Structure 1
């Protein structure tokens, strides 16, 4: 019995059907006797079939809510989405494929919207640390391990000194992905947070789950977590979509598998965040900072649970697209711990990212407020990672395009408000996608980074490439000869964004009109950047005609430059030098030349050293007309003497 909706694809003359026998058949409408293909794999009657001719795929769904994607050319199954993985429960009533968003809309007791992502085929010459985008990674100094997690809820443990994989375990949060991780104070246990709203404590060497931390309310995604010691009490602090600060005490004598959070702070309930909390950062012994989606930053006293101060990020810069509302989210925080020793200091003590790819420096004492605000990326890419060296001398900033920028902040923000950005030390391209984690190792001499491009990499402090975890050839982190430097990963080398920056490459303005216009005094007329220098008029009438034509051509050229310099005008830091035009307009004119036969002897090729080219002689008529032509020609200074 035929149950599924059949689709006719006229471009390929195909008819696809499915039914109670759990088999999908592909037919040629003009040859109905036998199917041209049979697709087997469903374990329940097929209820829905759709042919996506743009992708050359068949989407099917069976009565057990299992979705399968088939390839029309090979008749093989590309992927299977079970009901447990998709979360679809209940009796299937309707199903519809939407080609625009490439999603499958399924109606049971609820309405499900499945986005179908088609991953790119991995290239054999590219090194990948994970098969899925890496969401976080951390360094464990106790065992000298690097632990990384990907969206598929897979945890991998790497040897820091060689880059070899030590172990891995999968399904850490079931079908939910991992969002954050940290270590306890001893480094022996791993703490992970997931989209299922719970935290888990692992003995990550063998992949055994020791404890599960969760509350009884509706489970909301955990965005960030940290492990902290407060008055000799150890606790895990987690923040996320529930907009509350959840504190779980880590009691060694408590052997219960499930643990609940402590009661919420009163200030958190009354004056806490109104939007989802995205980030948490600690500064022992008692300061904790959290930031939310609406750009609000709150600094807490962990000992008392009281709010210390509240900061609000500046509004997005003018010129940004506000059609979907300004994005003021703050997802990165970093304390300048050496400056917090003086509680009455007016210097900047906290760094955060901001809207439009900006970075903000905040003072927390002597009246909290904004000290500095600058944008590291020329393309205003959102800052996705902030780490500071132990002495608060250098700040490493990573962005969504995979770049890492290093700034000298040793003296920055110490005396109050700063109007300029700090001095740039260096910058390099670390990944071809957004950097998700950034950490300094070995006293700041090694940089650890991970990205959505599925890689985890090591770099020296000045950007020398050490290697990618998972590569075939191990490295010795203490032997620079074993590093990948001066080579860089192939995808970075070939990515268009990795092209060196130069003013000629940043604009399409002609070479002579690259720089911006010079600033003019008020009340004076602005001079055209492509205006030629004024020269004396030639004495002859024909020369006046040449100059008039030259001025017309120059005005057209100036208008051309004026139109193409609109984008350059928005860059006031550029200054435009005047074009160095010749003193006489370069033009070619046509003249009628009388035919003059010049007599010459044919050279004797038998004589050594004779000239192989014919020699021309000027006639008397030509010699008489030459001085007058030289006066009228703009190239008079270059005409040869006969």
Structure 2
């Protein structure tokens, strides 16, 4: 933990691996008086500016944040790309005179900080804290969302009205993931406390707590599967193991324990923290980890089906220290996987440098395509695929959603070009944390670190933000938001339309030199070999 005292304010601030900045009263050490949640990487620097009533913090991903010390709200976030900070952080120094932050990495960065006021109270927010995940429940036509404050909210999908809420689901730690059982009657959440919990979410009653006997480590993702008529919950996270809990109707214990680990998992499994899990019935499961490794498993036998290594970004040195190779999102192309097609891509993953990778899995696993949907190279943070594997929706850390036509993409082997972009729009002002397609209604559901949960048409028409005063009627487009885009997105500098129009026109008018450079990069991608 990194502590920082403020004698003027009589406060102590700490930050560390759990990405939360805690505010303490030194004379009441039993419980923090406040928690600042928004960082997505461990906090390594904190400065209290008493004269401004502000807190400045920095995390290992070189993201700088400014907080209001009274309201505990995040006023500003500067990503490493926006601020130009590159390399591994050495030290930071805040200069109160010019109100600037000096950051030393491989080079010096001098950030002049222009502080803005607290968020406009008139802006529509679904939660007061960053939303980490949301899901649609087709059984009850509900949307369930969770935020960093460990609060769960239940919304009416058809109108956007809040139906219920409950909090403290994982104590003082954040929820990290959620899913439903096959009936849709129970909610399953994972948290940073290392527990998986099963809820009757309409009344907020915890039915079961699932946890390991060993030291509790963060659960990063979970999924619910039915295998050979057996129902189970699979949870993954910082313990680097695949934890399978059987869902037994006759349960006499409050605490459930996971099944013994598969031998392939113990002997040849992930060596780094597992960040994501995705399933493809009836028997395939894919997991990905912080070091960029992807493993596809046979859930019935517990054996490893294949192992894949994510290619490095083409514009950086492969062995550079601090290179983020993590794969945090996976999506199966289920119609192709069901056919065991030996030539076609059957799995999509995100990767470093804003890249997206298509993989074939059968008769020799390998890379089919690697491309970057955004020219800004924003990290892809969520992936959704239509039922027939015709379109993929790719959301990124800047809040954009790109829709790509993949109906014929990667069917016959390697692709040298990116798939055709059908449309794109900006859904949020910060990272999109969840993206789900509600295909029976032609609706897209999204959530973000900007504290909002929103509905869109499949083409990007704005329906509304959950929590807004005026309800919508999902079946009446005239009741949808009269503004085509949320106000805060219109006002954000990154949403200026001119650069986006130019970006969409660039491929057709690309210079010869640029084409040669792109071809060289694409050829280098094929040199990456699967393990």
TM-score (norm 1): 0.64
- Please point out which of 229, 233, 236 is paired with 2:233: 236
Aligned residues: 435
- Structure 1 residues 221 and 290 mapped into 2: Cα distance closer, same or farther (>3 Å)? same
- Please point out which of 202, 213, 220 is paired with 1:223: 220
Q: How far does the alpha carbon of each residue in 1:72-128 deviate from its partner, in whole angstroms, 9 at most, with x for none?
A: xxxxxxxx249xxxxxxxxxxxxx985489589xxxxxxxxx997653433132100
Matched, 1:63 2:31: no
Partner SS, residue 451 of structure 2: coil
- Structure 1 residues 246 and 435 mapped into 2: Cα distance closer, same or farther (>3 Å)? same
Matched, 1:273 2:270: yes
Structure 1 unpaired stretches of 5+: 8-15, 17-23, 25-47, 52-58, 69-79, 83-95, 105-113, 507-514, 520-567, 574-642
Matched, 1:174 2:171: yes
Alpha-carbon separation, structure 1, partners of 2:307 and 2:351: 15
- Structure 1 residues 388 and 6 mapped into 2: Cα distance closer, same or farther (>3 Å)? closer
Q: How far does the alpha carbon of each residue in 1:114-162 deviate from its partner, in whole angstroms, 9 at most, with x for none?
A: 9976534331321000000000000000000000000000000000000
Counting only pairs closer than 5 Å after superposition, residues 213-612 of structure 1 correspond to structure 2 as 213-319=210-316, 324-443=321-440, 445-484=442-481, 486-502=483-499
- Structure 1 residues 569 and 457 mapped into 2: Cα distance closer, same or farther (>3 Å)? same
- Structure 1 residues 243 and 320 mapped into 2: Cα distance closer, same or farther (>3 Å)? same
Alpha-carbon separation, structure 2, partners of 1:149 and 1:131: 11
More strand by share: 2
What is the match of residue 74 of structure 2? Answer: 119
Q: How far does the alpha carbon of each residue in 1:521-542 deviate from its partner, in whole angstroms, 9 at most, with x for none?
A: xxxxxxxxxxxxxxxxxxxxxx
Alpha-carbon separation, structure 1, partners of 2:368 and 2:140: 39
Alpha-carbon separation, structure 2, partners of 1:205 and 1:503: 42
- Structure 1 residues 572 and 392 mapped into 2: Cα distance closer, same or farther (>3 Å)? closer
Alpha-carbon separation, structure 1, partners of 2:120 and 2:459: 29
Alpha-carbon separation, structure 2, partners of 1:338 and 1:505: 35
- Superposition deviation, residue 501 in structure 1: 3.7
- Structure 1 residues 97 and 151 mapped into 2: Cα distance closer, same or farther (>3 Å)? closer
- Superposition deviation, residue 238 in structure 1: 0.1
- Structure 1 residues 391 and 98 mapped into 2: Cα distance closer, same or farther (>3 Å)? closer
- Structure 1 residues 98 and 403 mapped into 2: Cα distance closer, same or farther (>3 Å)? closer
Alpha-carbon separation, structure 2, partners of 1:6 and 1:417: 58
What is the match of residue 130 of structure 1? Answer: 127
Partner SS, residue 373 of structure 1: strand
Partner SS, residue 328 of structure 2: coil
Partner SS, residue 153 of structure 2: strand
- Structure 1 residues 416 and 258 mapped into 2: Cα distance closer, same or farther (>3 Å)? same
Q: How far does the alpha carbon of each residue in 1:432-462 deviate from its partner, in whole angstroms, 9 at most, with x for none?
A: 0000000001337100000000000000000
- Structure 1 residues 188 and 503 mapped into 2: Cα distance closer, same or farther (>3 Å)? closer
Contact 2:24 2:34 in 1 (8 A): no
Partner SS, residue 443 of structure 1: helix
Alpha-carbon separation, structure 2, partners of 1:490 and 1:344: 46
Alpha-carbon separation, structure 2, partners of 1:501 and 1:148: 34
Alpha-carbon separation, structure 2, partners of 1:97 and 1:136: 27
- Please point out which of 198, 202, 205 is paired with 1:201: 198
Alpha-carbon separation, structure 1, partners of 2:198 and 2:153: 15
Contact 2:127 2:147 in 1 (8 A): yes
Contact 2:342 2:364 in 1 (8 A): no
Q: How far does the alpha carbon of each residue in 1:216-246 deviate from its partner, in whole angstroms, 9 at most, with x for none?
A: 1000000000000011111000000000000
Q: How far does the alpha carbon of each residue in 1:175-208 deviate from its partner, in whole angstroms, 9 at most, with x for none?
A: 0100000000000000000000000000000000
Which stretch has the larger CA shift, 212-221 or 115-124? 115-124
Contact 2:139 2:184 in 1 (8 A): yes
- Superposition deviation, residue 326 in structure 1: 1.3
Alpha-carbon separation, structure 1, partners of 2:501 and 2:225: 51
- Structure 1 residues 518 and 148 mapped into 2: Cα distance closer, same or farther (>3 Å)? closer
Root-mean-square deviation (CA, aligned residues, Å) is 3.0
- Structure 1 residues 493 and 321 mapped into 2: Cα distance closer, same or farther (>3 Å)? farther
Contact 2:386 2:439 in 1 (8 A): no
Q: How far does the alpha carbon of each residue in 1:376-408 deviate from its partner, in whole angstroms, 9 at most, with x for none?
A: 011000000001000000000000000000000
Structure 2 unpaired stretches of 5+: 14-22, 36-44, 58-66, 76-117, 504-508, 520-531
Q: Identify the structure with bigger relative contact order (alpha carbons < 8 Å, sequence gap 6+).
A: 2
Partner SS, residue 348 of structure 1: coil
Alpha-carbon separation, structure 2, partners of 1:518 and 1:242: 49
Alpha-carbon separation, structure 1, partners of 2:499 and 2:416: 25
- Structure 1 residues 505 and 186 mapped into 2: Cα distance closer, same or farther (>3 Å)? closer
Alpha-carbon separation, structure 2, partners of 1:347 and 1:318: 28
Contact 2:12 2:26 in 1 (8 A): no
